[in-house]
Structure 1
Amino acid sequence: MTEPSPSKESALKRRREELGLKQRDIAIGVNVSMQTVSNWETGRYKEAKLTLPQVKALCRVLQWSIEELPNELGPVE
């Protein structure tokens, strides 16, 4: 099985793996379901609808500044 090309990989998944986190860690930190995190990573949800506290939590969990937060959480072509 071939690895996805970096340009089509989810920025969220790449960052999560860099930090050694599981989807469950993100889900708990942001207060969403694990399925939601999976859907973000695969691009199933084209837009993440998060409250401001959830955006802050996502940045905190992934150690991203607001400037580093990608415009798309799913795979980018």
Structure 2
Amino acid sequence: MALTRDQLQAHLDQLGGSMPGLLATQEHHFFEAFAAMVETIADAAAPGADRDWVEHQALGMLARNGLIPPIDEAA
């Protein structure tokens, strides 16, 4: 059974809180480690819109932390 968006958000919040430590300990492999964690969360989402939402939230986390350019919300 797929997780609700509230449950998915709780997992994303945990991931967001772990980013400083992940950056410090996985400096050279950060993106691989982050992607694996996002994939685990996305796998718990319903296919389609919820999975896309998880991936969009993860990209937003990266952008807010200056790791990728800001996301163009109009696109």
Flag the structure with higher helix content: 2
| Higher relative contact order structure (alpha carbons within 8 Å, sequence separation ≥ 6) | 1
For normalisation by structure 1, the TM-score amounts to: 0.30
Larger Rg: 2
